[in-house]
Chains A and B, each alone.
Chain A
């Protein structure tokens, strides 16, 4: 039995996962069972970061310097730094809406990097 803390939500259920059958106990919702089994087989994480907002002369100083982003689904834990490297290369300009895809299939995963905040040039 492997003991884990579920990270699906802030409740942090204390899970016990069977290493052979991947049966989960201690979860208080179905998401915990999925997390517990995945964490032993193929751990995944959502990556969040920021991207550089390219200066737009007409926008003056109202434009924020960074736009927050996330992967729209959890990606393999081992790919986190590759995802970060791709995000670091990105430059965005307004307009961007929440949920707009900025990088699709980031680092060869099935996740996309999407905006988590609106970016407009008028304040």
Chain B
């Protein structure tokens, strides 16, 4: 007799297996769109983003996309409002950006064709806050040193 957890896991496995072979036929058009976007980036510097959530995309399509693009050299995890995974594919200039919420549920998924995804760059507002934080910490440190010097 299976435990409830085993039953759920069993159902999830069945589901994953079924879904991994279901395709909509959209993977090839998306891959060709990526190729066009990459040529535009190189010729004109035009960056592009493809919203994978806006296209009917099944497990089989995802499998084709991953097989063709592969894994590249850069893989970064952001931790803000849940995690985000930013990874360059084996086709340099083509990035996968997957956003998750605090529970690990997928919020949105994008292909970015760019030399550097915007979300990886330090944002000016954050740097301004960083300057204020660093100044405050140094002031605290100076204060401590002065107190120790007085003794």
The answer to whether A and B interact is no
Q: Taking beta carbons and an 8 Å cutoff, which residues of B are in contact with A?
A: none
Q: Taking beta carbons and an 8 Å cutoff, which residues of A are in contact with B?
A: none
